[in-house]
Amino acid sequence: MGLALVLALIVAPEDADQGISQRIFYIHVPIALTAYFCFGLGAVKALLLLWRGEERYDLESYVAIHQGTIFGALTLITGSIWARASWGIWWTWSSNQLVLFLVLFLFYCAYFMLRFSLEDGPRRARSSAVYALFGVALIPVSFLAIRLAADFIHPTVFTRDGPQMSGTMFATFLVCWGAVTLLAYVLYRVELAGKRLDADLRELREVLQ
Amino acid sequence: MSWSQEELVAAAYAVVFLFVLVYVAIIAAKLARLQRETAELVELARRKSGGTS
């Protein structure tokens, strides 16, 4: 993370068009991609739960979606700050990319409402898994919206011709992406371990009492 | 309120840092709770084994 910060804030050259505000790109885009990945991972784990019926996939799916929601919130906040710096506004409803990401984020926020409204058990696990699988359909829509959008207000950096940036900028982006992915992975493992330990202790308490 | 470009870049990175900090603090609080619960259960297990032997 330290290397990523140094590269993003000091080493990477300043963008000729956007100036210093382009440096938000190095944190905003990796966080957005990580959010998509976490939601996708949550859906894969949900599919595995429905397919194999193993209970552990329920917790793994939940934690992945929880991570995705945190990174989704960060995507919206950093994106809003970047919008203020680049376009002079915090938010615009005319950009399909922004609105679709907000829809995706709210959809997964509702996942927690569904999950915590049901009693713990196989029914809750199955219902949550089905909901998580529905949500995954929104990911490609949200991801591709930037290319399908008619307003072109949101910049397209990665095109069929490759990344539209210099070599140093692209290398910085890759380091930042790796750092954010690693951070997400560590947080995922720690949260999962904590939840498993919590469940084990609850079971142990029931046995002892 | 008008924000300079530098302030907005700093704000974006600060928000991420703050989120991670809060998340780590929550995890740390949870680990402390789990540690307390583990100690309670160890005590309970000792009392039970002492009572039956």
- Count chain A–chain B contacts defined by CB atoms under 8 A: 67
Tell the residue number behind the tokens 């982006």, with chain if given: A173
* Residue among A190, A194, A205 whose CB faces B41 most closely: A205
Residue A16 lies in a domain: no
Count of positions (residues) in chain B: 53
pLDDT band, very low/low/confident/very high, at A166 (cuts 50, 70, 90): confident
Which chain A residues are Cβ-neighbours of B3 within 8 angstroms?
84-85
Residue A188 lies in a domain: yes
Residues 6 or more apart whose CB falls under 8 angstroms from that of B48 comprise A208
Please indicate if any CB of chain B lies within 8 Å of the CB of A144: no
Residue A116 lies in a domain: yes
Structural domain of A114: 22-208
Calpha distance A171→A176 (Å, rounded): 9
pLDDT at residue A103 tops 80:
yes
Please indicate if any CB of chain B lies within 8 Å of the CB of A141: no
Instruction: Determine the pLDDT at residue A170.
Output: 87
Q: What is the pTM of this model?
A: 0.85
Residue B38: name the closest of A205, A190, A195, A207 by CA.
Answer: A205
Residues 6 or more apart whose CB falls under 8 angstroms from that of A97 comprise A142, A145, A146, A149, A154
What is the average per-residue pLDDT within A58-70?
94
Calpha distance A190→B32 (Å, rounded): 14
Instruction: Determine the pLDDT at residue B51.
Output: 58
Residue A5 lies in a domain: no
Is the pLDDT higher at A86 or at A144?
A86
Query: Is residue A73 within 8 Å of residue A102, measured between CB atoms?
Result: no
DSSP calls for chain B: ----HHHHHHHHHHHHHHHHHHHHHHHHHHHHHHHHHHHHHHHHHHHHHHHH-
Q: What is the largest CA-CA distance in chain B?
A: 74
What ipTM is given for this predicted complex?
0.80
Is the pLDDT higher at A97 or at A84?
A84
Percent of the residues in chain A that have a pLDDT greater than 70, as a whole number:
90
Q: In chain B, what are the domain boundaries?
A: 20-53
Rounded-to-10 torsion of CA A9, A11, A12, A16: 90
Query: Is residue A105 within 8 Å of residue A76, measured between CB atoms?
Result: yes
Tell the residue number behind the tokens 């429905």, with chain if given: A50
Instruction: Determine the pLDDT at residue B47.
Output: 85
pLDDT at residue A152 tops 80:
no
Residue type, A123: R
Instruction: Determine the pLDDT at residue A70.
Output: 94
User: In chain B, which residue's Cα lies nearest the Cα of A78?
Assistant: B12
pLDDT band, very low/low/confident/very high, at A43 (cuts 50, 70, 90): very high
* Residue among A5, A24, A194 whose CB faces B30 most closely: A194
Query: Is residue A84 within 8 Å of residue B8, measured between CB atoms?
Result: yes
Contact between A77 and B15 using a beta-carbon 8 Å cutoff: yes
Query: Is residue A67 within 8 Å of residue A184, measured between CB atoms?
Result: yes
pLDDT at residue A127 tops 60:
yes
Residue A6 lies in a domain: no
Which chain A residues are Cβ-neighbours of B9 within 8 angstroms?
9, 20-21, 23-24, 85
Is the pLDDT higher at A130 or at A147?
A130
Least reliable range by pLDDT among A19-23, A31-35, A42-46, B47-51: B47-51
Contact between A190 and B27 using a beta-carbon 8 Å cutoff: yes
Query: Is residue A172 within 8 Å of residue A11, measured between CB atoms?
Result: yes
Question: How many domains would you assign to chain A?
Answer: 1
pLDDT band, very low/low/confident/very high, at B53 (cuts 50, 70, 90): very low
pLDDT tens digits, A2-16? 888 888 888 888 877
Contact between B9 and A24 using a beta-carbon 8 Å cutoff: yes
User: In chain A, which residue's Cα lies nearest the Cα of B21?
Assistant: A187
